[in-house]
Structure formats: C-alpha cells, structure tokens
Amino acid sequence: MKDEMQEFSERMAQRADQVDMALAKLLDARLRGDEIARPDTLLAAMRHGVLNGGKRLRPFLLLETAELLGGDQEAALRVAAATECLHCYSLIHDDLPAMDDDSLRRGLPTVHVAFDEATAILAGDALLTMAFEIIAAPQTELAAGLKSELVLALAQASGLGGMAGGQALDLQAEKYPPDEAGIITLQSMKTGALIRFACEAGAILSGSNPTDRECMKRFGEAVGLAFQLADDLLDVTSDSQSMGKATGKDTGRGKGTLVALHGADWARTQLSGLVSEASSLLSPYGERARILLDAAQFVANRKH
C-alpha cells in the first residue's frame, strides 16, 4: 500500500509539472487571435494567482479520466489547464477583503496583497474568461461539438447554479447558519461542482458514451464530497503552518459544517463510505482505473 501511494504521489507530481508548463505557456506575453495587448501588471497578477505550486488536483482528475477513456492527451492537457485557470480565479476572488479576506494562500501573499484589490478582481475576471478561451481555441484539437459541451458543463459547474452560487450561499451562511440540507447544497456548489466537472470533462473530451460519462460524473461527485469533508476535518484538526493558509476560520465564524454537526468520527466513516462508492463506480474499468481510486483515497486521507 505504501508503495502504491508513493507511486501515486510521483504521478501526481509529474502531472502537476505538465500542467504548470501548459499554464506558464498560456500565460506568456504572446498575443492570441484578436487580442489587442496583454497588459504587464494584469498578466503578472494572473501568473501570481496561477503559477504558485498548487497540487493541480482538478487537472489530475481530468487527465486521468481522459486517459482511462482514451481521450487525446494534448487536448486533455489544455482543458485541464482551463479548469485550473477557473479554479484559481475562484481562489483570487474568494480571498478578497469583501469575501474571506485572506492574506495568505499556499504560503504566499494573496493576489490583492501582492498587487491591489482592483488588479485582483480583474485578474480573476481575466482568468475566468481565459478558461473558456482555451477550450474554444483552435489549438484545442477537439470536435466543435465536444467543445460546446465542455463550455456548457464548465459554465454550469462554475456560475450562478454552481461555484459562484455556492460562494454566495457561503457568505450568507455566516449570518444565517444553514441546516444540514443547506450545508450539502452549499458544498456541492462551492467545491463539488468543479471537481465533478473535472471528472466528467475527461469523459466528454474522450467522446465517451453516456454510461461512461455518467459514471465519471458520479465518481467526481463522490470525490467532491470527500474533498469537502476532509477539508472540514482539517479545519478543526490542523494548524495554519501545514495548510499554508489560515485555519479554524469556519468554526470561528460560526459557519456550519457537517463535521461540526456530526463530529470527526462520523466524518471519517463517511469518508470511507465515499471511497467505497468510488471503488464500486470504477470497478467496471478494472486495474486501469487504479490511479483514479488512489486519487479518491488521497483526497479522503489528505493531511494538508
């Protein structure tokens, strides 16, 4: 088991390097298509918010589901980079003074601290926009029908009815603590939807049949739930040094989490259940899907 997890860690690091290289290239100064100029400061703020040594979990899930289902790896890498641009935009905006007001992210100053608030807002806006540009660009060699499906799924996962809506619910939760159903909705939107998208996108870009696509979507849902539960557990059991960001904030602000409602032991049992669910969903794919199961375990057991 230890060897398997070590192998997994190495693979995740390799994938992260691939994704970092793709992101660095997308965020260079060359103009694309009808762009008029790439202003230096804004570009630097975008790079600060993206090229910061993140684990690249969502790209990893996307690349591995695409590999499992026979998708083109070059195209998958671009869609993975797009997904990470979108994820990083959400972190930049969530960290703003008007939102969670965080000054530290992955051990570095947040974008509005390193630059200024206006630049951070615009860097987020431009990264969100770039995510869609990357998918639609001719360099992403996919059938146009698949690109449209990816744009639609990404927009629904990340907008009003997904991630942005989840952040809005999260802000309200400080004043009006939600009940259990409300917490689940909030978390499915805020963090679950984009993780689910990453897995489903691997299937979409591979041109998979509806069964495989639905299966990867449900796998992504399980991983998303596990991610949030593990995060809530860490928030009560970890310290800010190993997280590279402030911890204990959710409890301090009176935000309800499932861990706060049901306790840490319940959460650990739920996490095992989610890993089992992931395992059942992946069983039709046999040994080839082992890396995705490892990913689910990694998410459920992560210590930072």
Q: Check residue 37 for interaction with a copy of itself (CB under 8 A).
A: yes
Whose CA is closest to 89, among 133, 53, 34, 45? 45
User: Using the rule CB under 8 A, which residue among 43, 113, 234, 246 binds a copy of itself?
Assistant: 43
**Judged by CB under 8 A, does residue 99 bind a copy of itself?**
yes
Q: Does 126 bind a copy of itself (CB under 8 A)?
A: yes
Indicate the residue among 12 and 50 with the shorter CB distance to a copy of itself.
Answer: 50
Candidates 122-130, 261-269, 270-278, 284-292 — which segment interacts with a copy of itself by CB under 8 A? 122-130
| CB distance 231 to 186 below 8 Å | no
- Produce one character per residue of 218-241: b if its CB has 16 or more CB atoms within 10 Å, e if not: bbbbbbbbbbbbbbbbbbbeeeee
| 114 interacts with a copy of itself by CB under 8 A | no
Angle at 220 between CA 222 and CA 59, to 5 degrees: 135
Q: Is 113 in the site for a copy of itself (CB under 8 A)?
A: no
Q: Which stretch binds a copy of itself (CB under 8 A): 54-62, 88-96, 225-233, 254-262?
A: 88-96
Closest residue by Cα to residue 82 from 189, 158, 187, 166? 158
Query: What CA–CA distance (Å, rounded) separates 32 from 209?
Result: 33
Asked whether position 79 contacts a copy of itself by CB under 8 A, the answer is no
Is residue 155 within the footprint of a copy of itself (CB under 8 A)? yes
Q: Which of positions 210-269 make contact with a copy of itself (CB under 8 A)?
A: none
Question: What are the DSSP E strand ranges found in the chain?
Answer: 104-105, 108-109
Interface with a copy of itself in residues 177-206 (CB under 8 A): 185, 188-189, 193
Q: Which residue has the tokens 């952040």?
A: 167
Q: State the Cα–Cα distance between residues 78 and 137, nearest whole angstrom.
A: 10
Please report how close the Cβ of residue 249 comes to a copy of itself at its closest, in angstroms. 15
CA 159 to chain centre: 14
What single-letter DSSP state applies at residue 289? G
Closest-CA residue to 79 (of 152, 138, 134, 143): 134
Nearest distance, CB of residue 55 and a copy of itself, angstroms: 23
Nearest residue (CB) to a copy of itself, 221 versus 294: 221
Closest to 236 (Cα-Cα) out of 228, 225, 246, 248: 248
Q: Contacts with a copy of itself in 12-31 (CB under 8 A)?
A: 31
Interface of this chain with a copy of itself, residues 128 to 147, rule: CB under 8 A? 128-130, 132-133, 135-138, 143-145, 147
Pick out residues in 258-297 that bind a copy of itself (CB under 8 A). none
- Our finding on whether 157 is near a copy of itself (CB under 8 A) is yes
Residue ranges in contact with a copy of itself by CB under 8 A: 31-39, 41-43, 46, 89, 93, 96, 98-99, 116-119, 121-122, 124-126, 128-130, 132-133, 135-138, 143-145, 147-149, 151-162, 164-169, 171-172, 185, 188-189, 193
